[in-house]
Amino acid sequence: MEQILAKRKADLADRRAIKGLVLRVAVLAAVLALVFTQGFLITQVRGQGMFPAMKDGDLCVVFRTPAMRLTGQTLAQDDVIAYTHEGQRYFARVVAVAGDEVELTSSGNVTINGAAVGGDILFPTYTRGDLSYPLTIPEGCVYALGDYRTHASDSRDHGLIPLDRVEGKVITLLRRRAL
C-alpha cells in the first residue's frame, strides 16, 4: 500500500512540475511577444535611399518609439529612423530636430543652424516638394534625409515627419543580400 501511495505522490509531483514548466514557458513566450511587438521591430530595407549605409534586402532591428519614450530616449541628429508615409515604410537619417533651422543651398549642401552637415554624404542635396527654406523645425517633428540623396524619398518629398509617424530608431543592421 505504501508503494502505491509513494507512486501516486511521485506522479502528482511530476504533474505539478510539468504544469509549472508549461506556465513558465507561457510567461516567457508572452514576455518575448510583448518585447518583439512593442519594443522592437525587425524589418527588411526596400530600395536604395540609404545607400551605402543600408542596402536593399538588409534586415534591420528598430527600437520602437513607445519603448524609446519609456526609457527616456529621444531622437537626435544622425539617428537613422524608420517612419511611415501613406502606409509605406521609409528609412532616413535625422538631420534636424525641433528648434533647428534647415537650409538647402543652391549648390546642394545642407546647413543646420548655419553649420554645414553631411560631410561624408557623397551626393548633393537639392530641394524638392513644397517646403521653403530656411525652415525651422517645429516641436513634435523631425527633418530627415536619405543618404543616397538623388534616389531617396525623404522630408524633401514627404515634408516634416511628425514623431507619431516615426516607428523607431534603427539600432542594428544585418546584411543579407546574398542569402
pLDDT in tens, 90-145: 999 999 999 999 999 888 889 999 998 876 777 888 898 889 999 999 999 999 99
Domain borders along the chain are 41-174
Provide the grid cell at 75.
531622437
**What does pLDDT average to over the chain?**
91
| Residue 64: pLDDT over 90 | yes
- Measure CA 119 to chain center: 23
> How high is the pLDDT of residue 41?
93
Band of pLDDT at residue 147, cut at 50, 70 and 90: very high
For the segment 66-94, the average pLDDT, to the nearest whole number, is 94
The CATH topology of domain 41-174 is Umud Fragment, subunit A (2.10.109)
For the segment 50-67, the average pLDDT, to the nearest whole number, is 92
| Residue 179: pLDDT over 70 | no
| Residue 171: pLDDT over 70 | yes
| Residue 55: pLDDT over 80 | yes
- Decide: 62 and 170 in contact? Cβ < 8 Å: yes
| Residue 178: pLDDT over 70 | no
For the segment 169-178, the average pLDDT, to the nearest whole number, is 84
Check residue 163 and report its DSSP letter: G
Percentage of residues in the chain having pLDDT higher than 70: 98
DSSP, collapsed to helix, strand or coil, labels residue 36 as: helix
Band of pLDDT at residue 13, cut at 50, 70 and 90: very high
Nearest Cα to Cα of residue 124 among 104, 143, 142: 104
DSSP, collapsed to helix, strand or coil, labels residue 103 as: strand
- Decide: 149 and 157 in contact? Cβ < 8 Å: no
